[in-house]
Amino acid sequence: MGLNIQDLKITSAQFSTGERLQDANANDGDNVAPELTIEGVPADAVELALICHDPDAPLPFGFTHWTLYNIPTDTTTIGLDADEKFNPGPNGFGSQGYGGPQPPAGHGPHHYYFWVYALSRAVDGKPDRETFLREYGDAIIEQNRIIGVYER
C-alpha cells in the first residue's frame, strides 16, 4: 500500500506551520500542549497516534517531546486533557506525556513537528518514538504534521 498524504490533516488554532509556539506550551512555561485539530482520517484506520519531535535538538536522534497512542479515529480534537484521555508514552525528559519545548538558551530556533499517524493496527503498550516508527512503520496508512517553532 502506498503512503497517502492527501486527506489527513492536523492543524491548531494557536499556531500555523512555521509560527512560534506560545510560552505556555514551553516546559519552563505552563507546559501545556497546544490544542490540535485532526480531520480527514482514512476510513480504514484503526487508531491514531501522535508524536511531537524536535530534530534540531543537539542529540543524535533529536528530542521527543510527546508520544500519544490509542487515539480513536473519530477524535477531532487533541486537547489539554489528552494525556488523561488517551495513552501517553515516553518523552525525552524521562517521563510520560507532554513535555514542552526547552531548547538550550542561545541555540537558535527549534522546530517542533507534531505528527499524526493513521494506523492499520492498534499500538500495543507505550513505545518510545524510535520503537514506534520501527515496529509500526508498516501500519502507517497516512501521516501529516504541523510544525511549531520555539527559541529561548
Cα separation of 90 and 84, whole Å? Answer: 14
Say how many domains are in the chain.
1
> What is the full per-residue pLDDT of the chain (152 aa) written as tens digits?
455 667 999 999 999 999 999 999 999 999 999 999 999 999 999 999 999 999 999 998 999 999 999 999 999 999 999 999 999 999 999 999 999 999 999 999 999 999 999 999 999 999 999 999 999 999 999 999 999 999 98
Cα separation of 106 and 89, whole Å? Answer: 29
- Cβ atoms of 32 and 86 within 8 Å: the answer is no
Statement: the pTM of the whole predicted model exceeds 0.85? yes
pLDDT of 6? 76
Q: Is residue 137 part of a domain?
A: yes
Q: Cβ–Cβ contacts within 10 Å for residue 110, how many?
A: 22
Cα separation of 13 and 16, whole Å? Answer: 8
Which domain, by its residues, includes 103? 9-150
Q: Is residue 2 part of a domain?
A: no
